[in-house]
Amino acid sequence: MDYDKNMSEKQFTVLGLINAENELKEPVSLHLRCIGGRKGLGRKIKVPDLNRPGLALSGFYDSFAYDRVQLFGKGEAAYLRKLELEGKTETIKHMFTYPIPCCIFSHRLLPDRNFLEEAELNQCPILQTDLSSTEFHAKLMQVLTNVFAPSLTLHGVLVEVYGLGILLIGDSGVGKSETALELVKHGHRLVADDTIAIRCVNGNNLIGAGSRTMIGHHMEIRGLGIINITRLFGVRAIRDRKEIQLVVELEEWNSSKEYDRLGTQEKYEELLGVRVPKLEIPVKPGRNIPVIIESAAMNERLKKMGYHSAREFNQNILRWTESDASKAVYFDTEDII
């Protein structure tokens, strides 16, 4: 399978964090607004983590995690007010000598005037959120985990069939898009066509989506051209992303190749270190590939529920064979007849 692994440095900025819900289509809202240091909104966030700078404010800068997002809660804000009243601003000036991505104040808290002036002087963005520190921490980690997750891009079609995310792969012209179009007609949903961006989230979940937002849920059908699935079938026929739970490789029928006819041999496709069940389906005139894929989806759901049709069939054959063999021990041929 041809794919491009994304090994380049993530280009994620503070401005992207503010607009994460829209630009990244993340299902969480961080409720962020910029209240200072706007000139630094282009600063890059390179580490998927945050830091509570309590020790740094007290003057202890050994092992200061300056490359992370700095979160100021009620405790840090109270300490800033104390430093302001006592006129101790040297530690704040020293903190801004580090290339901090941004500072975020939770609980709709506001920093003092000196803090904002130092931030403006050093072009460090100061953000504010309505969320509590705990809630913001959880949501921010969800966003950063998705953004910095290992990723790759491959050619194929991603569809949702009976709630199961199925990645269709195969040579160009084998009929992936036509198969997906027929599945959409049957009431299933299209996630993306042509190029699929896959991210490995939480170490074992493969989330697939379209890699080109401008194309959206369009599909190329040879002989017909580009069609808009949303316009033709409505919003019920699409979704933005889906976990990949089954890989189906479509290939031209090869009469010299031995295909699995029982289904007892499990095959897997490894993507970003995650093994996904895989089926190889030969394509030739007369075979109803969409129906086969629907059956494969239902069969895979049965497997996840603990029922394996091929294994049960194999066990029944073994029991039948053993039963007939045991009869031959106690009965001669005439008795059996």
DSSP letter string, 258-275:
---SS--S-EEEEETTEE
Catalytic residue (choose from 93, 194, 278, 301): 194
Pairing of β 205-210 and β 151-161: unpaired
User: Which conformational region is residue 26 in: left (phi greater than 0), alpha (psi within -120 to 50 degrees), or beta?
Assistant: beta
pLDDT at residue 255 in the model: 82
Catalytic residue (choose from 155, 239, 278, 301): 155
Contact (CB, 8 A) for 228 and 186: no
User: Per-domain residue ranges for the chain?
Assistant: 10-147, 151-306, 312-337
Amino acid at 136: F
Q: Looking at the predicted structure, is the pLDDT value of residue 130 above 90?
A: yes
> Where does 151-306 sit in CATH, by number?
3.40.50.300
Q: Looking at the predicted structure, is the pLDDT value of residue 333 above 60?
A: no
- Helix runs in 87-156, H state only: 90-95, 113-121, 133-147
pLDDT grade for 28, boundaries at 50, 70 and 90: confident
Q: Smallest Cα–Cα separation from 158: which of 206, 200, 205? A: 206
Average pLDDT over residues 260-265: 70
What are the pLDDT digits (tens) for 196-252? 999 998 888 999 998 877 777 888 888 889 999 999 999 999 999 999 999 999 999
Average pLDDT over residues 152-180: 94
Q: Looking at the predicted structure, is the pLDDT value of residue 6 above 60?
A: no
Pairing of β 126-129 and β 103-105: parallel
Report pTM.
0.74
Catalytic residue flag (residue 171): no
Separation of alpha carbons 239 and 95, rounded Å: 44
What is the average pLDDT score of the chain? 87
Catalytic residue (choose from 43, 68, 139, 176): 176
Instruction: Output 146 or 297, whichever has higher pLDDT.
Output: 297
What are the pLDDT digits (tens) for 90-116? 888 999 999 999 999 999 999 988 999
Q: Please check whether the domain covering 10-147 is classified as CATH 3.40.462.20.
A: no
Does the fold of domain 151-306 match that of domain 10-147? no
Please list the helix, strand and coil fractions of the chain in percent, rounded to the nearest 5, in that order. 35, 30, 35
Separation of alpha carbons 334 and 321, rounded Å: 19
Average pLDDT over residues 176-197: 94
Pairing of β 164-170 and β 246-252: parallel
Catalytic residue flag (residue 39): no
Q: Looking at the predicted structure, is the pLDDT value of residue 59 above 90?
A: no
Catalytic residue flag (residue 10): no
What are the pLDDT digits (tens) for 168-184? 999 988 999 999 999 99
Name the residue with tokens 């939770």.
Answer: 106
pLDDT at residue 7 in the model: 41
pLDDT at residue 319 in the model: 74
Catalytic residue flag (residue 176): yes
